Amino acid sequence: EPSEMSNRTMTIYFDQVLVNIGNHFDLASSIFVAPRKGIYSFSFHVVKVYNRQTIQVSLMQNGYPVISAFAGDQDVTREAASNGVLLHMEREDKVHLKLERGNLMGGWKYSTFSGFLVFPL
């Protein structure tokens, strides 16, 4: 779940981790650090707050946006944005989510972020 701090810092901080085998996702910084070189799969799903706004979330690799997702239907009060990608990562590469625009809904597990190693190189 994104914490309220996410709407102020633009880095999306999660306050709960369900699975973190190897502890490569740092909860304090909400950054995943690749333990080894390989192909990784990442996906995210976020929900905007109840108002007529647009949200944009980007998945960042080493500080650069790789993919983004938007939700901006003005007639929908609860709208989601999702995306996923396969990334070639080097050991110690970092991935996190960035809130580019808008505000996210917190609570009741509306938003998620997942990543895992698909193929080591």
Domains defined along the chain, listed by start: 4-120 (2.60.120.40)
Residues 109, 51: Cα–Cα separation, whole Å = 19
Q: What is the pLDDT of residues 109-121, one digit of tens each?
A: 678 899 999 999 9
What DSSP string describes the chain?
-B-TTHHHHSB--BS--S--TTS-EETTTTEEE-SSSEEEEEEEEEEB-SSS--EEEEEEETTEEEEEEEE--TT-SS-EEEEEEEEEE-TT-EEEEEEEES-B--STT--EEEEEEEEE-
**20-77 residue pLDDT tens:** 999 999 999 999 999 999 999 999 998 887 667 788 999 999 999 999 999 887 776 6
